[in-house]
Amino acid sequence: MSDEQSSKPSSAEGGGTGVDALTNLPHGVLFKRATTWDLAEVEPRDEERAALPDGTSDRVAGYLAWRRGMIYLGCVAGVVTAIFALISMISDISAAGDMQHGSGVMTLLALLTFAAKAVLIAILFLALGKWADVAWTRKRIRIGWAIALLTPLGIALIPLSAIMLGGAEARQVGVKDLVGLIAGMLMFIQALPALLSLFPGMLRAGMTVKTAFPGRGMGPIVGASLAPVYVIFLLVVLTPVQQLVSSFLFFVGLALFAAGPLAYSRKAMPLLRPLSPEEASDGVSKVRVAMRWFQIPGLFLILVALLSKKLFGGGSIVGFDKNALIGFWKLIDLLSSFVMMVSTYTIVAADGLIQAMHESEKRSDEVRGTEAWNADSAPIAEASALLGPIGFLAPKPEAKETEDA
């Protein structure tokens, strides 16, 4: 074996430890990759190509380089959220120590909440160091994401009011209900970043996969199908907040923010067909711009409404005072947790879409032309013709003809 071959890192090593991965490549390059939706803008470096298996194509190398940037973004957000999650855990344990009942259980729940985040953060750092070992990172990242998602949801199902109150207190009229309401609100806030990360991660993964493989339409199909579900999810989750805030600004902000996924769905329709790399890049750019026009002002109005609303105790829902339900540092914790979870799920969803495309095409090749397949072709075409266009968000026929021209 030559010196050059022996010095080349194997795919199993992935280019060294997580610290090495951070020092060997400029942070700005990794961050730029993590914020792009278009893989045509991602150019792997020579040292990255050397870490990949021989013969890796340019498009696959670009996807893996983008994937490395997403892991990096998750690590950065994870460090921020780890700091504030640790502070929150210490505060929760201290508060639990002052309780007359259930202090041990509350301490355990605080430790579990912190441990779930810590597991994901540790996995992301390991994956950053072994980014080129795609099979290894894919499996571990999925496990870490599942732990970070399901742990706060499981904790939210525990009846905290029964733990926090003693027998006499629990029998007092309204006390148990009030404690349960407050505990439920706090658990809801704790689980919110993980819940809200699901749909943005999938929508972004769908567009990114389209730029990686512009001849395939599964990414936009999945994203466009989930966009209306995302809107319904936002309305269900945030309607109770609107009843608490009772603000016209919040209503307008929520309406604008929810319009973003609908714009995504409409702009994604032309991307369902096979496209050239340039056409795919242009189409994905239009999707991203359309969403920004709605979601940025919508998010601004929502934050203004939350900052200006005062609760019955005199504190605000989101604010800088100690009586705020979500203080400044807690807000930073929630936002960094959200970024970490979105980054992680975008990777999980993109990997899953690629494997789903391969399995779908492989199985289609196996069954296409069989008697059962042919028997369904005509009825499917007939039913589709009767149903009409794809949906009310689909481009009008004349608009599509203009685009084709």
Domain annotation covers residue 186: no
Confidence band for 9, pLDDT divided at 50, 70 and 90: very low
Calpha distance 337→343 (Å, rounded)? 10
Residue 108 lies in a domain: yes
Residue 294 falls within a domain, yes or no?
Answer: yes
Point out the domain boundary residue: 127, 148, 167: 167
Same domain, 113 and 254: no
Residue 90's pLDDT band, with cuts at 50, 70 and 90, is confident
User: Do 75 and 206 share a domain, yes or no?
Assistant: no
Mean pLDDT of all residues belonging to the chain = 79
Q: Say how many domains are in the chain.
A: 2
Co-location of 155 and 226 in the same domain: no
Q: What is the mean pLDDT of residues 296-303?
A: 90
Q: Which of 150, 167, 184 is the last residue of a domain?
A: 167
Is residue 162 domain-resident? yes
What does the pLDDT look like over 336-392, one tens digit per residue? 999 999 999 999 999 999 998 888 877 776 777 778 878 888 888 888 788 776 654
Could you list the residue range(s) of the whole structural domain that residue 253 is in?
A: 197-357+388-397
* 214 and 254, same domain (yes or no): yes
As a whole number of angstroms, the distance between CA 65 and CA 49 comes to: 9
Q: Which pLDDT does position 140 carry in this prediction?
A: 94
pLDDT score, position 182: 61
At residue 181, the pLDDT reads: 61
18 and 159 fall within a common domain:
yes
pLDDT of residue 96: 55
173 domain-assigned: no
pLDDT band with cut points at 50, 70 and 90 for residue 154: confident
Among 167, 184, 206, the domain boundary falls at 167
29 and 119 part of one domain: yes
Least confident of 201-215, 251-265, 308-322, 375-389: 308-322
**pLDDT at residue 15 in the model:** 44
Residues 201 and 162 in one domain: no
Q: Same structural domain for residues 297 and 223?
A: yes
Regarding whether 148 and 37 lie in a shared domain, the answer is yes
> Which pLDDT score is estimated for 103?
59
Do 239 and 137 sit in the same domain of this protein? no
| Banded pLDDT at 305 (limits 50, 70, 90) | confident
Residue 93's pLDDT is what? 67
Please say if the pLDDT value at position 311 is more than 90. Answer: no
Verify that 30 and 125 share a domain, yes or no. yes
**What integer pLDDT is reported at residue 287 of this predicted model?**
92
State the distance between the two ends of the chain, measured CA to CA, in whole angstroms. Answer: 57
Q: How many residues does the chain have?
A: 405
pLDDT of 173 above 60? no
Report the percentage of the chain scoring pLDDT > 90: 33
Q: How far apart are CA 292 and CA 264, in angstroms?
A: 10
Calculate mean pLDDT across residues 107-112. Answer: 79
Across 9-16, average pLDDT: 42
Residue 182 covered by a domain: no
Statement to judge: residues 299 and 206 lie in one domain: yes
* Residue 289's pLDDT band (cuts 50, 70, 90): very high
DSSP 318-383: B-SSTT-SB-HHHHHHHHHHHHHHHHHHHHHHHHHHHHHHHHHHHHHHHHTTSHHHHHHHHHHHHH
**What would the mean pLDDT of 248-265 be, rounded to a whole number?**
91
Residue 172 lies in a domain: no
Residue 375 lies in a domain: no
